[in-house]
């Protein structure tokens, strides 16, 4: 292991007695031992200097890197590369300089307590502030979820969300301090959750049960319109499904949603893959706030909404893999600014409903190529005691991919 000066050791609630002989040898030989307060206490007395993680964690990574070449041990919970400290350290320290000795992860321990096949379970990290709504997209009848909690309040928050979404019959398991002498496992129906004394170190298991009123997040584009709070500024379901198909979201890609309105396009882009990113631009402050609420409600709180008007609000944004323009296309300035921002191989999709905006899309098509599609949707609605078709406004959609070598 020549050159591997940094040892990252997974430690469980059973402390030093659960460590291998190799891990104990590295721990005793370290000049510096870094960990959370709990980790350092679990490790007991060690000859080397001890230091607790600082916030943000990256600050401690810098201090660790300053000790390069001397033996350093970092203690982490369970598997350091499963929502652990190893992920943070690997951003600044080459893996070739590390040796990693994992312990069973919290998910492995939880699955073993419940008898759940871990490969079939959705595993989530809700261990950062604001992440609890991320569970939303994974709540489907019959599915099982394991989630790391931020603190002792997280299980109560999850149970409330399940009730609010129509999944109050779901069975919730709260597993505290797994693998140690303080281990405790309690089961309760989500709608009856009343635990007030949950240990901050806990993991939540959810066996999902849907009621008739449940509103799951479908795996296809085109969520029902009533899932979104809106003032009418909303890309309707059928047009939205086609628009997402035209945008072709790929894993880890960045979208600009220009003229975000209620945020429906950016939200469904993010729902397409957990690694996706999206920035929404909306000039109306009330609509921008509404889009933020929709993002949280639908389980993508990381939607980055910016209050501002294009094209000025586009300055300095990370380069996108795709751009959707939902409004403000009439004068063509926004279209050209967005086209210029695209990297080769990236795509642009713009929808228009007014004659002026249609003219701008026709001009863009002449300059940059691509395809034009005109879509019209009619819905059956009551007319007195009878039923008739009520047409929506037709939508012209322009789609183009920026070719390599284009300006």
CA atoms within 13 A on the CB side of 190: 27
| Beta strand pairing call for 144-149 and 304-307 | unpaired
What pTM, to 2 d.p., does this model score?
0.87
Per-residue pLDDT of the chain (407 residues; tens, 9 = 90+): 468 999 999 999 999 999 999 999 999 999 999 999 999 999 999 899 999 988 777 788 888 999 999 999 999 988 999 878 898 899 889 999 999 999 999 999 999 999 999 999 999 999 888 899 999 999 999 999 999 999 999 999 999 999 999 999 999 999 999 999 999 999 999 999 999 999 999 999 999 999 999 999 999 999 999 999 999 889 999 999 999 999 999 999 999 999 999 999 999 999 999 999 999 999 999 999 999 999 999 999 999 999 999 999 999 999 999 999 998 777 889 999 999 999 999 999 999 999 999 999 999 999 999 999 999 999 999 999 999 999 999 999 999 999 987 66
Strand spans (E) along 61-170: 72-77, 98-101, 122-126, 144-149
Q: Which of 296, 228, 293 is nearest to 265 (CA)?
A: 228
Q: Are 362 and 337 in contact (CB under 8 A)?
A: no
User: Residue-wise over 136-145: b if at least 16 C-beta within 10 A, else e?
Assistant: bbbbbeebbb
Q: Is the backbone peptide bond immediately before 179 cis, with ω within 30 degrees of 0?
A: no
Instruction: Report residue 391 as tokens.
Output: 């047409």
Long-range contact pairs involving 83-87 (C-beta distance under 8 Å, separation at least 24): 83/125, 83/127, 83/148, 84/10, 85/8, 85/53, 85/57, 86/8
Q: Give the Cβ contact number of residue 353 at 10 Å.
A: 14
Stated length of the chain: 407
Q: What is the pLDDT of residue 144?
A: 98
Distance, in Å, from the CA atom of 370 to the CA atom of 367, rounded to the nearest integer, reads: 9
User: Residue-wise over 271-287: b if at least 16 C-beta within 10 A, else e?
Assistant: bbeeebbbbbbbbbeeb
Q: Which domains does the chain have, with CATH numbers?
A: 6-103 (3.40.1010.10), 107-207 (3.30.950.10), 225-401 (3.40.50.150)
Q: Are 43 and 211 in contact (CB under 8 A)?
A: no
Q: CB under 8 Å to 289, separation ≥6 — which residues?
A: none
3-state secondary structure of 148: strand
Q: What is the pLDDT of residue 328?
A: 73
């Amino acid at each position: 292991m020549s050159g591997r000066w940094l040892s990252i050791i997974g430690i469980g609630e059973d402390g030093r007695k659960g460590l291998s002989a190799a891990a104990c040898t590295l721990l005793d030989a370290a000049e510096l031992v870094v960990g959370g307060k709990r980790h350092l206490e679990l490790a007991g007395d060690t000859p080397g200097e001890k230091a607790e993680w600082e916030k943000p964690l990256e600050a401690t990574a810098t201090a660790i890197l300053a000790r390069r070449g001397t033996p350093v041990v970092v203690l982490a919970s369970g598997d350091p590369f499963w929502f652990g400290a190893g992920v943070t350290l690997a951003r600044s320290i080459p893996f070739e300089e590390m040796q990693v000795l994992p312990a069973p992860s919290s998910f492995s321990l939880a699955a073993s307590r419940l008898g759940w096949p871990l490969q079939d379970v959705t595993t989530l990290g809700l261990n950062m502030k604001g992440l609890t709504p991320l569970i939303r997209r994974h709540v489907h009848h019959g599915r099982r979820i394991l989630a790391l909690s931020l603190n002792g309040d997280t299980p109560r928050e999850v149970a409330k969300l399940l009730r609010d979404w129509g999944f109050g019959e779901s069975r919730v398991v709260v597993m505290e301090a797994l693998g140690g002498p303080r281990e405790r496992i309690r089961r309760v129906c989500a709608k009856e959750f009343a635990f007030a004394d949950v240990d901050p170190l806990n993991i939540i298991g959810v066996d999902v049960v849907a009621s008739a009123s449940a509103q799951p997040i479908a795996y296809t584009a085109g969520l029902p319109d009533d899932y979104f709070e809106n003032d009418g500024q909303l890309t309707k379901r059928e047009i939205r499904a086609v628009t997402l198909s035209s945008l072709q979201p790929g894993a880890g890609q960045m979208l600009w949603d220009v003229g975000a309105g209620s945020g429906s396009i950016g939200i469904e882009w993010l729902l397409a893959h957990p690694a996706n990113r999206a920035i929404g631009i909306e000039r109306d402050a009330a609509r921008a706030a509404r889009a933020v609420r929709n993002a949280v409600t639908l389980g993508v709180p990381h939607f980055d909404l910016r209050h501002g008007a294009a094209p000025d609000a586009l300055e300095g944004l990370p380069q996108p893999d795709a751009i959707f323009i939902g409004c403000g296309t009439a004068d063509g300035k926004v279209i050209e600014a967005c086209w210029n921002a695209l990297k080769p191989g990236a795509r642009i999709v713009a929808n228009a409903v007014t004659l002026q905006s249609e003219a701008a899309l026709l001009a863009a098509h002449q300059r940059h190529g691509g395809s034009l599609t005109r879509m019209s949707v009619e819905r059956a609605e009551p007319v007195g005691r009878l039923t008739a078709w009520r047409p929506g406004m037709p939508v012209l959609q322009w789609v183009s991919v920026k070719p390599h070598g284009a300006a």
